[in-house]
Amino acid sequence: MQNIQLSDGRAIPQIGFGTAAIGEMHQDDGFVKETILKAIDAGYRHIDTAAFYGNERSVGKAIAESGMARDQFFITTKVWDTQQGYQPTLRAMEQSLERLQMDYADLYLVHWPYPEKTRPTWQAMEKLHAEGLAKSLGLSNFRKQDIQQLMDFAEIKPVYNQLELHPYLTQKQLVEYCESKGIVVSCWSPLGTGSWSGVEKSEKPIADSVITALAEKYQVSAGQIILKWDVEQGRIAIPKSESDENIAANLALDGFSLTDEELTQIDQLNQDKRYGGDPDNAWQDNLNSPVPE
């Protein structure tokens, strides 16, 4: 799988392995570790976790047990809303690295916009970057106004914004804005969210007739069609899977290409449909959900 160049000059694998709710949210055990080891065996080198997922220990153990050097991996983690602010963010990173048993994270993200805390949080992240604890800095779920707020004072510009983005929520204007600022867009729940959401498979984009027709045409899975749609437009995608078959398939995207017309067809499936939290108010609920110990 190819890499994308971030605006700070660092390279990031275009397909990452999502770890939110492996098993279930906050699960941190042998099953989680073994699932991540399966992904590593399949070829994933970009692993995406977060303090809030509660599974950083399992990620760290999987990396340690893989037999591969730390510098072969690109590890992303995130500061949660209850951890935002200057000193709390410094402490949050210390705790994340402790759980991961690592000296640094490749990419550190603000998990959700919490506007009144954005400035001190980002300034703490700049300090972590200066100390080599966070090699690259980025955002998650940030809206245009959140990015504009941050750009007013940021000495180090964000290189990445991870969004809920799938064929039913294409966020085209926000994507264009990010790209105009040199921010690479990454997609969480690229296939239309996981089992944790309680959404029926039939209601997800992987069941859409446009997607399934293309899957049939190219003799690939519906998931591969959606991931190829992201990859061909220069986005990063972070699919999560627990099955050997899908773990392998989500990386196997080189055998076919979508036409411009087909990319447009998928773009036109947009319904502005969110399965996850809404950045307009998610931080309010998130403050009631602390990071698990």
Chain segment 173-224, per-residue pLDDT in tens: 999 999 999 999 999 999 986 555 677 888 899 999 999 999 999 999 999 9
Report the alpha-carbon distance of residue 49 to residue 53 in Å, rounded.
7
Closest listed residue to residue 101, CA positions, set 77, 121, 82: 77
pLDDT for 202 equals 81
- Domain contains 209: no
- Residues found in the chain: 293
- pLDDT mean across residues, the chain: 96
The pair of structure tokens assigned to 130 is: 């200066």
**Cα angle vertex 172, ends 169, 173, to 5°?**
125
- Domain contains 144: yes
Catalytic residue, from 53, 108, 160, 168: name it.
53
pLDDT for 201 equals 81
- Domain contains 117: yes
- Domain contains 293: no
The pair of structure tokens assigned to 33 is: 């570790």
Active site residue 53: yes
Q: What is the pLDDT of residues 117-161, one digit of tens each?
A: 999 999 999 999 999 999 999 999 999 999 999 999 999 999 999
- Domain contains 121: yes
Residue 106 contacts residue 141 (beta carbons within 8 Å) = no
- pTM value is 0.96
Residue 140 contacts residue 112 (beta carbons within 8 Å) = yes
Sheet bearing 160-164, strands edge to edge: 17-18, 46-48, 74-79, 105-110, 134-140, 160-164, 184-188, 236-238
- Domain contains 225: no
Q: What is the pLDDT of residues 280-291, one digit of tens each?
A: 999 999 999 999
Q: What is the pLDDT of residues 31-62, one digit of tens each?
A: 999 999 999 999 999 999 999 999 999 999 99
The residue range of the domain holding 63 is 10-198+234-241+273-286
Residue 74 contacts residue 106 (beta carbons within 8 Å) = yes
Amino acid at 143: R
> Going by DSSP bridges, is the β-strand pair 134-140/46-48 parallel, antiparallel, or unpaired?
unpaired
- Domain contains 72: yes
Q: What is the pLDDT of residues 63-87, one digit of tens each?
A: 999 999 999 999 999 999 999 999 9
* CATH code assigned at 44: 3.20.20.100
Number of domains in the chain: 1
Burial of 274 (0-12, 13-18, 19+ CB in 10 A): middle
- Domain contains 175: yes
129 appears as a binding residue in the annotation: no
